[in-house]
Structure 1
Amino acid sequence: MNPGASGSSRLSLPTILGFALSNLPLGALAVAVAVYLPPYFASNLGVSLAVVGGAWMTVRLLDIGVDPVLGVIMDRTRTRLGRYRFWMLLGAPVLMLSVFALFQAPHGIGLVYLIGWLLVFYLGTSILGLGHSAWGANLSKEYHERSRLFGVVAALGVIGAVVVLLIPIGAEALGRDATEIVPDMGWFIFWLIPVSMIWMLLRTPEIIAPETDHPRFRLRDYWSLLVKPDLLRLFLAQMALTLGPGWMSALYIFFFTDSRGFTATEASILLLIYVLAGIAGAPLTALLARRLSKHRTLMVTTTAYSIGLCMVMILPKGNVAAAIPAMFWCGFMAAGFDLMIRAMLADVGDEVRLEQGQERLSLIYALNALAAKIAGAFAIGVTFPLLQRLGYNPTEGAVNTEGAIRSLEWAYIAGPIVFVMLGGACVIGWRLDAERHAQIRRDLDTRDAQYAEAPILESLSSEPAIPVLGDRDS
């Protein structure tokens, strides 16, 4: 189905699935880097908690300016390959190189090594994440269709995370020791990056929205994005909803083994349940949004997630069967956080294009990625040094005091609940609903009809209908 050729706004399932494939490695990396890589550096490579936490926080702070710059450049890009396709092709090898360096890191690495390769890693994820999100927002124009599209994208990301979580379970069955598990994850993700992108890059149509004859670059237009109330609210929501689950992920292995009495394998199984729940949670959350609207759905899922997290502390220790329902519940609800925000950002992007006459989607997603990066820096940069200050010892085989375990428990439960509930509160009173968005789209369609038809680049083998790095100012 050509989404730009017919009058239908509904994308075919093969088109959506093909586009969503490139989220497989990003979903796998989200779990591997947040849950397994930092403890691996601390427990198996001899890097101190302070160095690990300091490296992550330093990189996130150094990296905060990258996404807005990328967003501005991406919105202005014109190539014979398309706009977003070009950037996806550029970002893939950057990410592959950093994945190899981090997951195959030698024993004895220090702060400089970690900071250097983490910077390359986050550059690669920024390029791919921004390109994919903005491409998706242009691929789907209708309010509810965007929930459907980003729901499938989220589900594919969950599948990538699930496969990564199966690696520790399979490694134990194959007799591989703990020092080999994280490098195995790295090799899997390394090859998944190019394989998963081939179909998407070759076959997903790319639609470039027409622009008015306004100047291509006006500082006041960019400043207006920074102070736009809806974008500020989504910025804060993204920050809170990244920090909450990220905080939990950073402490997950320590909490479930030392506090809840599970083995490392059992903890991985429960995390697998949590992530697997997202395969159902993402599309069903998108379906719920058709009835409740996106912002109300976000408030419902954040509240339900917090209730489920409280249940973890009252479950019997070491009982996998009792923990499964609570973990499934939390994972099901968390699956809706990111996809609702991404779909809401796409709607705001239409409003911005109507106001300014120019595409700003890449920059809008870049500003939201900035929020996620700031939150991600604090998730590890605060929790790890905090645990060390409270006397918790993460070294394999170490015996921690009852006070240190209690501090670990409070940190694991309180932080995520506070931030997740704050994220839901950020969209109370949201007004950009389906009815208002439909009017925005009608106004855009009317104005777009006055300009050249939006070009579609069907595949890399077709003749593009867009200029090469077009400088319309010249």
Structure 2
Amino acid sequence: MHLKRRTLAAFAAPCLPLTGVGLPLVVYLPPYYAGTLGLDLAMTGILFSLVRWLDLPLDIVFGHQIDRTDTRLGRFRPWMLGGCLVMLAGLFVVFFAQPGLTPLHAFAGLFLMYAGFSAAQVAHTSWGQALSTDYHERSRIFGWWQAGNMIGLLGLLAVPPLAGVLAPRFGWTPGPALGVHGMGWVLIALLPAVLLLVTTMVPERPPRHRSPHGWRDIWSALKLPLLRRVLLIDLLASLAPGFGGALLIFFFEAARGFPAETARLLLLFYFAAGLIGAPLWGWFARRTSKHQAVMWSIGSYAVLHVMLVLLPSTNFWLAAGGMLLAGIPAVAPAFLIRAMLADVTDAETLATGKSNAGLYYAVLVGVQKLGYAIPVGLSYIVLDMVGFDAKAGTGNTQTAISGLIFLFLVPPVIAAIGAAWLARGWTITAEVQARTAAALAAAN
């Protein structure tokens, strides 16, 4: 079934605010908490990592309950609504924290925000899987999903520099707090609007082979070879930009001599490239396959990330060009892996007679969180050990800056190469998925 563009646009709309709890939060919030708000650097890394680890069981709970949900509103709508409302409360706490906040206060706000995000994200991606059984249409669905993420990222990252430009006119106090508060208000304003769109314009289809699973099925699911493989691909593909994103502002400020505002501006080039990369890699996947597109995109990302580190210091346009090139392949794995998981879900539904889409996407959301939690926690602790000072910029010691460059370069490249290697030899092609979809339709 070929979905209408307005349906796909409505489905992608929640990505605009939900993406704000992804990479922008990793890029902006930890340095802001450790610098402007005065939280200890190592403690900041521990908190931002710990809250993701503790949030992981909630993903499984939400996925388990989504698969068991059967209401007049549908299976996914109640969880989208409830999750976004909880996330809304967390946004107020996290983005409007004041200097001198305690670690407990920071943790409570982060946990509340991530809990709501988890429910909404699991419901949203599971909903996308259910919209079509066609191999290439799923790439199209999650391509729109990724385009929504890219537009949300660009819009959100444009808020701090725009707020800085408008500050003199409106009498606002310039500084990091202005940009963070501005992002918070944008996210809070967007949530109700996109909820209205997705809940009124996107259809829900009755699940095939409804057979609510028990908790034992969670452990059984994690033993499935295809599921384990796609999860590991996603983890490694998330670790690569996760390390880069967590350290990007520190890298360009301390190791390359750019002002903090300029370092943040470079992010716009990186995410703007995603608007080119998403349709480009979607086209490549239709001409070849989803797993080959993942393999080539994440492999080329590794090469371009090395080139980015080798660029000379303080040349803005060279750095901007490097960020633009690196952003083109970085966008592909997220939406293509979700489309691959949709095919895995159908294959396992045919094999077991149970529809566990919510569970599978819950695990994937959890894995993506690890891809961003591990870099922040690990890299910030290591930076603290080598004496890196978040406030010192180029005034850090050479040992501290060398440690920063090593963390920015080596882990992302290793993770990207691992993801590309695992994507080779994926067995679900367009022909295999067509046979699976036909068998599922015949069994109904």
Structure 1 match to 2:151: 159
Task: Compute the displacement of 1:43 (Å).
Answer: 0.6
Runs (4+) of structure 1 moved beyond 6 Å? none
Q: Aligned pairs, how many?
A: 438
Going from structure 1 to structure 2, the CA distance change for 1:398 and 1:290 (only over 3 Å counts) comes to: closer
Question: Which whole-Å deviations, capped at 9, do the CAs of 1:225-264 have from their partners, x for residues lacking one?
Answer: 1111110011111111112211111111100111112222
Question: Which whole-Å deviations, capped at 9, do the CAs of 1:166-206 have from their partners, x for residues lacking one?
Answer: 11221221233222211111111111111122111111111
| Mapped pair 1:188 → 2:180 | no
| Mapped pair 1:225 → 2:217 | no
Could you tell which deviates more after superposition, 145-154 or 193-202?
193-202
Note if contact 1:43-1:396 (Cα within 8 Å) is conserved in structure 2: no
Letter in 2 for 1:418: I
Note if contact 1:239-1:372 (Cα within 8 Å) is conserved in structure 2: yes
Task: Compute the displacement of 1:222 (Å).
Answer: 3.8
Question: Which whole-Å deviations, capped at 9, do the CAs of 1:408-428 have from their partners, x for residues lacking one?
Answer: 111101111111111122222
Letter in 1 for 2:184: G
| Mapped pair 1:205 → 2:197 | no
Task: Compute the displacement of 1:378 (Å).
Answer: 1.1
Structure 2 match to 1:77: 69
Note if contact 2:346-2:436 (Cα within 8 Å) is conserved in structure 1: yes
CA distance in 1: counterparts of 2:113 and 2:420, whole angstroms: 30
Task: Compute the displacement of 1:396 (Å).
Answer: 5.2
Percent same amino acid among aligned pairs?
Answer: 36
User: After superposition, where does 1:55-454 map in structure 2 within 5 Å?
Assistant: 55-175=47-167, 176-211=174-209, 216-217=212-213, 221-395=217-391, 399-448=395-444
Task: Compute the displacement of 1:300 (Å).
Answer: 0.1
Letter in 1 for 2:107: I
Task: Compute the displacement of 1:131 (Å).
Answer: 0.6
Could you tell which deviates more after superposition, 399-408 or 346-355?
399-408
CA distance in 2: counterparts of 1:217 and 1:423, whole angstroms: 30
Task: Compute the displacement of 1:101 (Å).
Answer: 0.2
CA distance in 1: counterparts of 2:157 and 2:69, whole angstroms: 37
Structure 2 match to 1:17: 9
Structure 1 match to 2:170: none
Going from structure 1 to structure 2, the CA distance change for 1:91 and 1:219 (only over 3 Å counts) comes to: closer
Note if contact 1:28-1:163 (Cα within 8 Å) is conserved in structure 2: no
Task: Compute the displacement of 1:219 (Å).
Answer: 5.7
CA distance in 1: counterparts of 2:71 and 2:40, whole angstroms: 46
Letter in 2 for 1:390: V
Could you tell which deviates more after superposition, 167-176 or 284-293?
167-176
Task: Compute the displacement of 1:104 (Å).
Answer: 0.3
Question: Which whole-Å deviations, capped at 9, do the CAs of 1:6-56 have from their partners, x for residues lacking one?
Answer: xxx111111111111011111233233110011000110010111111112
CA distance in 2: counterparts of 1:275 and 1:172, whole angstroms: 20
Letter in 2 for 1:326: G
Could you tell which deviates more after superposition, 256-265 or 393-402?
393-402
CA distance in 1: counterparts of 2:341 and 2:126, whole angstroms: 10
Note if contact 1:135-1:206 (Cα within 8 Å) is conserved in structure 2: yes
Note if contact 2:68-2:213 (Cα within 8 Å) is conserved in structure 1: no
Letter in 2 for 1:313: V
Note if contact 1:294-1:344 (Cα within 8 Å) is conserved in structure 2: yes
Question: Which whole-Å deviations, capped at 9, do the CAs of 1:130-169 have from their partners, x for residues lacking one?
Answer: 1110101111220000101101110111111101111122
Note if contact 2:160-2:178 (Cα within 8 Å) is conserved in structure 1: no
Note if contact 2:12-2:148 (Cα within 8 Å) is conserved in structure 1: yes
Residue ranges of structure 1 left out of the alignment (5+ in a row) = 1-8, 449-474
More helix by share: 2
Task: Compute the displacement of 1:224 (Å).
Answer: 3.1
Q: TM-score, with normalisation over the residues of structure 1? A: 0.90
Task: Compute the displacement of 1:209 (Å).
Answer: 2.0
Question: Which whole-Å deviations, capped at 9, do the CAs of 1:108-150 have from their partners, x for residues lacking one?
Answer: 1122112212111111111111111010111122000010110
CA distance in 1: counterparts of 2:218 and 2:309, whole angstroms: 46
User: Root-mean-square deviation (CA), in Å?
Assistant: 1.5
CA distance in 1: counterparts of 2:25 and 2:284, whole angstroms: 30
Letter in 1 for 2:269: I
Letter in 1 for 2:48: W
CA distance in 2: counterparts of 1:252 and 1:345, whole angstroms: 30
Question: Which whole-Å deviations, capped at 9, do the CAs of 1:283-317 have from their partners, x for residues lacking one?
Answer: 22111101120111101001110111111122221
Note if contact 1:50-1:385 (Cα within 8 Å) is conserved in structure 2: yes
CA distance in 2: counterparts of 1:259 and 1:322, whole angstroms: 15
Note if contact 1:29-1:189 (Cα within 8 Å) is conserved in structure 2: no
Note if contact 2:257-2:313 (Cα within 8 Å) is conserved in structure 1: yes
Which of 19, 24, 27 is the equivalent residue of 1:35? 27
Q: SS of the counterpart of 1:180?
A: helix
Note if contact 1:28-1:164 (Cα within 8 Å) is conserved in structure 2: yes
Q: SS of the counterpart of 2:265?
A: helix
Letter in 2 for 1:283: P
